[in-house]
Structure 1
Amino acid sequence: MYAVIKTGGKQYRIQVGEKLKVEQLKVENGSEFIIDQVLMVADGDKISMGTPLVNGAKVSATVLGQGRHDKIRIFKMRRRKHYQKHQGHRQNYTEIQITDISA
Structure 2
Amino acid sequence: MYAIFEDGSRQYRVSVGDKVRIDHREIAQGATLELPRVLMHADGANVTIGQPTVAGAKVIGEVVDHPSEKHVIQQFRRRKNHRRLKGHRQHFVEVKITQIVTG
TM over 0.5: yes
- Structure-2 residue corresponding to 1:96: 95
- Structure-2 residue corresponding to 1:41: 41
User: What is the identity, as a one-letter code, of the residue corresponding to 1:88?
Assistant: G
Q: CA RMSD in A?
A: 1.7
Q: Aligned to 2:66, what secondary structure does the other structure show?
A: strand
The alpha carbon displacement at 1:27 in A equals: 1.3
Segments of 5+ residues of structure 1 without an aligned counterpart are none
The alpha carbon displacement at 1:84 in A equals: 4.3
Q: Which stretches of structure 1, 4 residues or more, deviate above 4 A after TM superposition?
A: 77-84
The alpha carbon displacement at 1:90 in A equals: 1.5
User: What is the identity, as a one-letter code, of the residue corresponding to 1:47?
Assistant: V
Q: Aligned to 1:13, what secondary structure does the other structure show?
A: strand
Aligned length: 102
- What per-residue deviation string (whole Å, max 9, x for no partner) do you get for residues 21-61 of structure 1? 21112211111121101111000011111122111101110
> Taking structure 1 as the reference length, what is the TM-score of the superposition?
0.86
Segments of 5+ residues of structure 2 without an aligned counterpart are none
- Equivalent runs, 1:1-103 vs 2, <5 Å: 1-69=1-69, 71-76=70-75, 84-103=83-102
> Taking structure 2 as the reference length, what is the TM-score of the superposition?
0.86
